[in-house]
Amino acid sequence: MRYGYARVSTDEQSLARQQSALALAGCDQVVEEVESGVKARRRLNALLERLQAGDELIVAELDRLGRSTGEALLLMDELIKRDVQLRILALPSLDIATNDGRLIADILASLAAHERRRLRERQRQGIAAARSAGRHLGRPQKMNGQQVGEAQARLAADEPVPVVARAYGVTPKTLRATLARVGVRASMPARRSV
């Protein structure tokens, strides 16, 4: 039986290109997964358990099987031992059951891992440059500078944190975190004992 496996790392990415390639390859069944390659991939693991001698596992690219060279190589070893064929559509002439094919697969897996490390380093450098330029990274801020100033004044006038937070449509926790970023501590009023 021909099994296809398609994976993307996040919900923002699309499986469409892989789905199309696997359909053209004549897969009997396609397993799809949205999961980072560094996390446990439950659907891939379940598929691997189902594979039997004579089955074929088809992926669009080698890096869909694992995010590290070691992981991809171990998986290829396991498939060879179990007499399961691996077909990588981006590398149509690659046969990992041969010594030369395995060497090429090893080199390609190593190159892919190297490129991911370079990408992460470039990403870290970009984040550092953006931070040093004073740009905000991450989610959009809930309160603008004017609102933060107003909230500071209201709290200085002894208005309770929950009341001020509600006025700006944020939770007390968000208000405290926002004020902490600008160096202001917002404390909760003391609870009255009844």
**Angle of helix 145-156 versus helix 172-181 axis, rounded to 10:** 100
Judged on CB neighbours under 10 Å (0-12, 13-18, 19+), 147 is: middle
Is 9 annotated in the active site? yes
Q: Which residues contact 161 (CB under 8 A, 6 or more apart)?
A: 155, 172, 175, 176, 186, 187, 188, 189
Q: Which of 9, 20, 68, 187 is catalytic?
A: 9
Contacts of 38 (CB under 8 A, 6+ apart): 67, 68
Under a CB-based contact definition with an 8 Å cutoff, are residues 11 and 34 in contact?
yes
**What positions carry a catalytic annotation?**
9
